[in-house]
Chain A
Amino acid sequence: MKNNRLILAFSILGGLVLLFIIAPLLGMFLSTSGVEIIETIKDTEVTNSIWLTIWTSMLGTIIFALGCIPLAYVISRKEFILKRLIVGIINLPIVIPHSAAGIALLSVLSRNTIAGRFAEGFGFGFVGTSAGIMLAMAFVSIPYLLTAAIDGFNTVPVKLEKAAMNLGASPIRTFFSITLPLAWRPILSGLIMMWARGMSEFGAVIIIAYHPMTTPVMIFERFNSFGLQYARPVAVLFIVICLIFFIALRLFSKNKIDARN
C-alpha cells in the first residue's frame, strides 16, 4: 500500500513535468488556425528557410560523422594519456552558452582568419553563408553524436573483434563487418540527435549568419518585427516537419537497424 502511494506521488510529480512540456506546445498548436498554416506553407521565404535548416544540419551531421565515428571508436577502444581531457573537450559545446560558441567560431572563421582566407581562396566563405550555418550547427551538436557513438562502441565486446581477426579478418574488415553493424543503433540515434539539435540551433547560427535565414532565426525575426501572431505559424510548421522526420527516422532505426537478432 505504501509502495502504491509512493508511485502515485512520483507519477503526479512526473505528470507536472510532462504537462510543463506539452502545455506550451499544445497551446501554440491550438491557437494557430489552419488558414494561417496554409498561408505559411505558401510563403516561399518560410519554406526555403525550413529546407535550408534541414539540409544544412543534415549535411553537417553527415560530414562530421566521418570524423566523429572514428574518434568515438578510438576513445572507446584505446587507453591513452589525456583521454579524460579529450572526453571533457567533446562535451564543452554543451556547457558553453551558444551565443558565446558563435563568437568563438566567428573568431576562427571570419574573413581575416586563416580558415576564412583559405575558404575565400576556393571562392566561398563562412560568414553569412550556408557553410557557416552548417559549421555553427555542427559545433553545438557534435557532442550528441560522439557520446552516443562512444556508448555504442562500448557495448560491442572486444572479444567479437578478436574472434573476427582470429578468422583472418583485417582490422578494417572487422570494423565494418562486426563493430559498426553492432554499434549502429546507438550511432544512428546519435546521428538523429545531432541533426535535430543542429536544426534547432539559434544562438551560434545568428552570430555566424543572420542571412540566409534558418527557421529558428526567422521565428525570432518575425517575433521581433511583427509579433507573436506572425512568428507562431512558422514555429508550428517547423515543429511539425521536424517531428515527421524525427519520428520516421526513429521508427526506421527501431525496426530495421536492430543488428542483434
Chain B
Amino acid sequence: MLEIKNISKSYPNFCLKDISFIVEKGDYFVLLGGSGTGKSILLEIIAGNTKATDGKIILNNKDISSEKIQKRNIAFVYQDQALFPHLTVFDNIAFSLRQKKINSSEIKKLVLKLSCTVDVENLLSRKPGTLSGGEAQRVALARALATSPECLLLDEPLSNVDTQLRFELRGLLRKINRQGQTIIHVTHDYEEAISLANKIAVIEHGSVVQTGTPEDIFLYPKSEFIANFIGIKNFYKGKLLPSENDSGLKTFKTSGVLIFVATEESKDDGFLLIPAENVVISNSFSENSSRNIFKGKINDIFPAKIGIEVVVDIGVKITSIVSKESAEKLALEKGKEIWISFKALSVKYIAA
C-alpha cells in the first residue's frame, strides 16, 4: 500500500498543495488532470526524483520520504521513455538485473520472459533510436517491470502513440495490472482514465479535488472544474452484449436498459458515453434514423452555460442539452412525458 500524506511542493510560479491519497496493492490508480496541474511533478516526488517541500510518502507502512531514489523500489516510465540510447533493447531491460548479482543465463531468461510479456522479443538486439514510439514504450515498460517494483509509475504513457497502438498498449497495461502490479498512471485523457483505472484522483491547480472510482468521478463530479474538464453528462457502466449479426451494431446493457452502440470492441465490461448535445427530444414518437428511441419523464430541467439541460428518466437518467427556443417550443417542464432519441453512432463505448 502506498500512502501519499499531505505532500506539498513550492516553485516560484506553481505549487502542489496538501496532496493526500491511498493506493492499495494491485490498484490501477489514475491521476487525471489538465496540463500544468502538477500531476507529473507528483510522480517525480513519489519516485524520489524531486523532494517534496512537505508531507510524507509511506510505502508498506515504511516512510520513504527521505529514501534514496535507487532504494525506493518504485519504477518510473517516463513520457519520452528515457531509454538508454547507447544500450541495446536487451541491455536496457537487463539494466536493473545486472546489479542484483544474478548470473548471466538467469538474466537472459528473465529478459526473454519480460520481452515476451510486452511483445518485444524480436527487438532485443536493436538500439532505442531505431524503435517506433509504441515499441519504445513497450521496452520502457519491460525495463521498469524488471525491477519487480512495488509500484509502477507511468507518466502519460499513451500520449505519443497512434490510436491503434493506444488500444494495444491499454490492453498490455491492463494485463500487467491484472498480474498484481500496482500502477499509478498520469494522464490528461479521461477516456484513458475510464478505460484503465479502478481509482481516479482528479488534480486541479496543484490540488486533488476528487478521488474515487470512475463512476464516482464521472457521475458525481464534485466541482464545476471536473464537470467541465470531463464534459460528460451521460456516463454508464454496463456490459456490451455480443452482436447478433455482422453489422457492427451491438447492444449495451446498463441498469436493465438496452442501448444500441456502433463499436468494433468485443469486450463485455465497459462504459458508455452519450454526448448530451446528441440526445434529441420530441413530444411524440417519430420514426427516424436513430436506433435508440426511448419514452421517458423529465426528471429535472435547468439552465446551463449554453441552452437548457433536460434530465430524462428512461430507466437510467439521461441528459439532453437543448436551446432555450426549443425548450419553449416543446413546452418542456418537469414531470412531462416525452420521447428521446440518439444514433448508435453518436454513442461511445470504452472497454474497461
Residues A164-196 near B (CB distance < 8 A): 164-170, 173, 177-178, 181-182
B68 surroundings in chain A (CB, below 8 A): 165
Question: Is B161 part of the contact surface with A, judged by Cβ < 8 Å?
Answer: no
Q: How far is the CA of A177 from the CA of B98 in the complex (A)?
A: 11
Binds A, one of B69-77, B111-119, B177-185, B209-217: B69-77
Residues B97-148 near A (CB distance < 8 A): 99-100, 127-130, 143-144, 146-147
Q: Contact between A163 and B147 (Cβ–Cβ < 8 Å)?
A: no
Question: Is B303 part of the contact surface with A, judged by Cβ < 8 Å?
Answer: no
Question: Is B62 part of the contact surface with A, judged by Cβ < 8 Å?
Answer: no
B129 surroundings in chain A (CB, below 8 A): 260-261
Q: Contact between B85 and A167 (Cβ–Cβ < 8 Å)?
A: no
Contact partner of A159 (CB less than 8 A), chosen from B48, B69, B82, is B82
Q: Mark B23-51, 1 if CB is under 8 A from A, else 0.
A: 00000000000000000000000011100
Q: Contact between A166 and B84 (Cβ–Cβ < 8 Å)?
A: no
Question: Is B86 part of the contact surface with A, judged by Cβ < 8 Å?
Answer: yes
Task: Give how many B residues have a beta carbon under 8 Å from the other chain's beta carbons.
Answer: 29
Q: Contact between A167 and B127 (Cβ–Cβ < 8 Å)?
A: no
Question: Is B95 part of the contact surface with A, judged by Cβ < 8 Å?
Answer: yes
Question: Is B78 part of the contact surface with A, judged by Cβ < 8 Å?
Answer: yes
Q: How far is the CA of A181 from the CA of B86 in the complex (A)?
A: 8
Question: Distance (Å) between the CB of A258 and the closest chain B CB?
Answer: 9
Task: Give how many A residues have a beta carbon under 8 Å from the other chain's beta carbons.
Answer: 20
Q: Contact between A166 and B85 (Cβ–Cβ < 8 Å)?
A: no
Question: Distance (Å) between the CB of B82 and the closest chain A CB?
Answer: 4
Contact partner of B82 (CB less than 8 A), chosen from A160, A168, A170, A260, is A160
Q: Contact between B99 and A173 (Cβ–Cβ < 8 Å)?
A: yes
The chain B residue sitting closest to A160, CB to CB, is B82
How many contacts A-B (CB < 8 Å)? 68
Question: Is A250 part of the contact surface with B, judged by Cβ < 8 Å?
Answer: no
Q: Contact between B86 and A166 (Cβ–Cβ < 8 Å)?
A: no
Q: Contact between A168 and B70 (Cβ–Cβ < 8 Å)?
A: yes
Q: Contact between B84 and A164 (Cβ–Cβ < 8 Å)?
A: yes
Q: Contact between A178 and B84 (Cβ–Cβ < 8 Å)?
A: yes
Question: Is B96 part of the contact surface with A, judged by Cβ < 8 Å?
Answer: yes
Question: Is A123 part of the contact surface with B, judged by Cβ < 8 Å?
Answer: no
Q: Using A162-B49, A164-B95, A261-B129 as known contacts, say yes or no to A170 and B85 having CB atoms under 8 A apart.
A: no
Contact partner of B69 (CB less than 8 A), chosen from A166, A178, A181, A261, is A166
A159 surroundings in chain B (CB, below 8 A): 78, 80, 82
The chain A residue sitting closest to B140, CB to CB, is A163
Q: Mark A217-261, 1 if CB is under 8 A from B, else 0.
A: 000000000000000000000000000000000000000000111
Q: How far is the CA of A165 from the CA of B74 in the complex (A)?
A: 10
Q: Contact between B85 and A260 (Cβ–Cβ < 8 Å)?
A: yes
The chain B residue sitting closest to A163, CB to CB, is B82
Q: Contact between B78 and A163 (Cβ–Cβ < 8 Å)?
A: yes
Give 25 A-B contacts (CB < 8 Å), ordered by A residue. A160-B84, A162-B76, A163-B76, A163-B82, A163-B84, A165-B70, A166-B76, A167-B95, A167-B96, A167-B144, A168-B70, A168-B71, A168-B99, A169-B95, A169-B96, A177-B95, A178-B84, A182-B86, A259-B85, A259-B86, A260-B86, A260-B129, A261-B127, A261-B128, A261-B129
